[in-house]
Amino acid sequence: MRPARNTILYGDCISLMQRLPGGAVDFILTDPPYLVRYRDRQGRTIANDVNGDWLKPAFAEMYRVLKPGGLAVSFYGWNKVDAFMDAWRCAGFRVVGHLVFQKGYASSQRFLRHTHEQAYLLAKGSAVEPHQPLSDVLPWDSTGNRLHPTQKPLRPLEDIICSLTRPGDLVLDPFCGSGSTLVAARRCGRDFLGIELERRHYMTASLRAHAAFP
């Protein structure tokens, strides 16, 4: 089937992406579970964060549905980088860049104070370089994780989307959580397609993505 535009699908992203034709989306920006058994101060957890059984199948589908020459940005857990890198390369992605998001606060601390997030820029085949490349260090705004245990801020997502896509492109987020990628895509004049497994987050993302002032 042709991918729906400006909508959010509820369910498992692997099975739902399998229904999409190859090369159907222009860009992927996603924040999958980090495989770290995350639990925040309120006791909230992330679905499928306890094992990586889904990791390779999910990125294999992302690679398939991305257009040839398309780009993808994936956040990842720094202490699970070997598992993520293996999944990306097995899917067929080339690693073409790395992004660091600098926080003005420490989200946690043990041996070090954790004051950044990170993501890799991946390509399917030969991707066209942007005319004005984005800095690989971007600022980070605190969301307070009000809507999701790992809610991402809009500003850096908008910077990424505006730099690496064109108006009217279709942006896919198969782990869309509270819908930050979708809102950012809408603000940049791009179409979006989100997928979310947890019903409460699916509802939040749907309300945000279609709100008059998200």
| pLDDT tens column, 18-72 | 999 999 999 999 999 999 888 888 888 888 888 899 999 999 999 999 999 999 9
> Does residue 80 lie in a domain region?
yes
CB 93 within 8 A of CB 56: no
Is 31 part of any domain?
yes
Residue 2 located in a structural domain: no
Residue 175 sits in which domain range? 7-209
Does residue 182 sit within a domain? yes
The one-character DSSP state at 200 is H
Question: What separation in angstroms does the CA of 34 have from each of 5, 37, 92?
Answer: 27, 8, 20
C-alpha to C-alpha distances, 202 to 7, 8, 10, 87, 205, nearest whole angstrom: 11, 7, 6, 25, 5
For residue 91, being part of any structural domain is answered with: yes
Is 30 contained in some domain? yes
**pLDDT digit string (tens) for 105-143?**
988 888 999 999 999 999 999 999 998 899 999 999 989
Residue 1 lies in a domain: no
The enclosing domain of 44 has a CATH number of 3.40.50.150
Is residue 214 in some structural domain?
no
- Report the percent of the chain where pLDDT is more than 70: 98
Predicted confidence (pLDDT) at residue 212 exceeds the cutoff of 80? no
Task: Count structural domains, the chain.
Answer: 1
